[in-house]
Chains A and B, each alone.
Chain A
Amino acid sequence: MINRKLVKFLSFRYVILALLFIILAGGLVLLPKFEKQEGIKPEQLLSNIISPERYITTDELADRIINQDPSLLLIDLRDEETFKKYSLPNAINMPLKNLFDEDSSAFLNQDAYDVVFFSNDNFDADQAWILCNRLDYKNLYVLKGGINRWFKTIINPPHPKENMPLEAFKLYATRKAASMYFGVAYPDQVKTNVPKRPRPTPKKVITVKKKKKAPEGGC
């Protein structure tokens, strides 16, 4: 027994399939557009943010600058004005709001250099780090404490108290030496060429021996 209705339906099978095709393809055009998730996955980003591995201490940074590490790329995220006042040696000024300008991606998206972000504190640098990490840029670091901590530890290291352990004194000595590299002068290290005052030559006292007067004959 042939189901006549089914036969009639199946005679249109190619038309139906063609229509299905067009509807599916048209559905693609009508799909609501949405911003695609760029960069790494949110879970990955979260675990990266929690990890403290991105921080580089001021001592470490000073050590690398002094040893003239060629793989170091310092990026100053503060505005231009403060950058001009003071910044780390060889730093590049890239204010946070200009972070994704066209010419800055060449500095950030590479894997030849270790990029170290810093600002006055580490908050701006952390933000920049998160933004760049999300885009899966490599070798990014944040200077812990930023310029403020740089001043407190390297430029103006606190003198250890007398009851502190030996390590504190050693650290102080290292920091002091580092600060001298960055141009801080210490009064106790200052070697001034004080012109030697010519030693006053003792006056030769020529004592003229008085000739004993011969007794003069008195009158």
Chain B
Amino acid sequence: MGPLLPNDIIPFEWSSIIAIVIGIFFGFILESSGFSSSRKLAGVFYGYDFAVLKVFFTAALVSLIGLLYMDYLGYVDMSSLYVHPTYLWAAIIGGAIMGIGFVAGGFCPGTSLCAVAIGKIDAIVYVIGIMVGVFIFSELYSVFEPIYTGYFYGNITLVDSLGINPYWFVFLFTIAAVIIFVLVDMIRKRVKKVFY
């Protein structure tokens, strides 16, 4: 049956509208769970709040387990889902830069826009910084291009590159996630309480 859009169960023209509706809900839930606060987001690096780690880890696992069940039952064909292409070094360098920005600024790109929406000044400055970064990147694109388009590995997933049964992988990943959650909670209890 699914995915709905590629199989024309929902006409392609609806895709932008659906994206906007999902985006509104995503932003609303981010904001209402406190992710528009840079103190809460930065807490994951200082060890006083691991909400970000737990939320995104859980979200990934819920969707992964749900998709695998739906694939098994024939509601979604996982092979026709979009897999983001891997440009190895571009991803490593970009990830490192984003991590530094995350620690320094206290937002990730999505939550920064969410915080702009409720009028946070630090987030507005952060988004201006993103725009400056985008501008520099575009101007120097010819310099970055070999890294940006090089080291291309195709649309691979961890399951493909490790050659492991996806079900076992998800099971082990879930156990690892639960262990990480417990460890992270232990760290949080040891770190001095920060009120924010």
Q: Which A positions have Cβ atoms within 8 angstroms of B?
A: 14, 18, 21-22, 24-26, 28-29, 31
- B75: interface (CB < 8 Å): no
| Cross-chain contact A28 with B61 (CB below 8 angstroms) | no
A24 to B66, CA, bound (A): 9
Q: How many residues of B contact A (CB 8 A)?
A: 16
Inter-chain pairs besides A25-B61, A25-B65, A28-B171, 5 sampled, C-beta below 8 Å = A21-B61, A22-B175, A25-B171, A25-B173, A28-B72
The 22 listed contacts between A and B (C-beta, < 8 Å) are: A18-B181, A21-B65, A21-B174, A21-B177, A21-B178, A22-B171, A22-B174, A22-B175, A24-B65, A24-B174, A25-B61, A25-B65, A25-B170, A25-B171, A25-B173, A25-B174, A28-B65, A28-B69, A28-B170, A28-B171, A29-B168, A31-B167
Question: What are the residues of chain B within 8 A of A25 when measuring CB–CB?
Answer: 61, 65, 170-171, 173-175
CB-contacts of B161-196 with A (<8 A): 167-168, 170-171, 173-175, 177-178, 181
Question: What are the residues of chain A within 8 A of B167 when measuring CB–CB?
Answer: 28-29, 31
Question: What are the residues of chain A within 8 A of B69 when measuring CB–CB?
Answer: 24, 28
| Cross-chain contact B72 with A31 (CB below 8 angstroms) | yes
| Cross-chain contact A22 with B68 (CB below 8 angstroms) | no
Q: Which B positions have Cβ atoms within 8 angstroms of A?
A: 58, 61, 65, 68-69, 72, 167-168, 170-171, 173-175, 177-178, 181
A14 to B167, CA, bound (A): 23
| Cross-chain contact B171 with A29 (CB below 8 angstroms) | yes
A26 to B178, CA, bound (A): 13
Closest Cβ of chain A to B169, distance in Å, is 10
Question: Which A-B residue pairs are the 9 nearest by beta carbons?
Answer: A25-B174, A28-B167, A25-B171, A18-B178, A29-B167, A29-B171, A24-B65, A25-B170, A28-B68
A26 to B170, CA, bound (A): 9
Q: Which residue of B lies closest to A24 (CB)?
A: B65
Question: What are the residues of chain B within 8 A of A28 when measuring CB–CB?
Answer: 65, 68-69, 72, 167, 170-171
Q: Which residue of A lies closest to B61 (CB)?
A: A21
A28 to B69, CA, bound (A): 7
Question: What are the residues of chain B within 8 A of A21 when measuring CB–CB?
Answer: 58, 61, 65, 174, 177-178
A25 to B58, CA, bound (A): 12
| Cross-chain contact B72 with A22 (CB below 8 angstroms) | no
A22 to B171, CA, bound (A): 7
Closest Cβ of chain B to A17, distance in Å, is 9
Closest Cβ of chain A to B62, distance in Å, is 8
Question: What are the residues of chain B within 8 A of A14 when measuring CB–CB?
Answer: 181
Which of B167, B175, B177, B181 has the most chain A CB within a 10 Å cutoff? B167
Q: Which residue of B lies closest to A34 (CB)?
A: B72
Question: What are the residues of chain A within 8 A of B181 when measuring CB–CB?
Answer: 14, 18
A22 to B65, CA, bound (A): 10
A28 to B58, CA, bound (A): 17
| Cross-chain contact A22 with B168 (CB below 8 angstroms) | no
Closest Cβ of chain B to A148, distance in Å, is 42
Which of B69, B171, B173 has the most chain A CB within a 10 Å cutoff? B171
A198 to B65, CA, bound (A): 98
Q: Which residue of A lies closest to B167 (CB)?
A: A28
Question: What are the residues of chain B within 8 A of A18 when measuring CB–CB?
Answer: 178, 181
A21 to B68, CA, bound (A): 14
Closest Cβ of chain A to B117, distance in Å, is 30
A84 to B181, CA, bound (A): 70
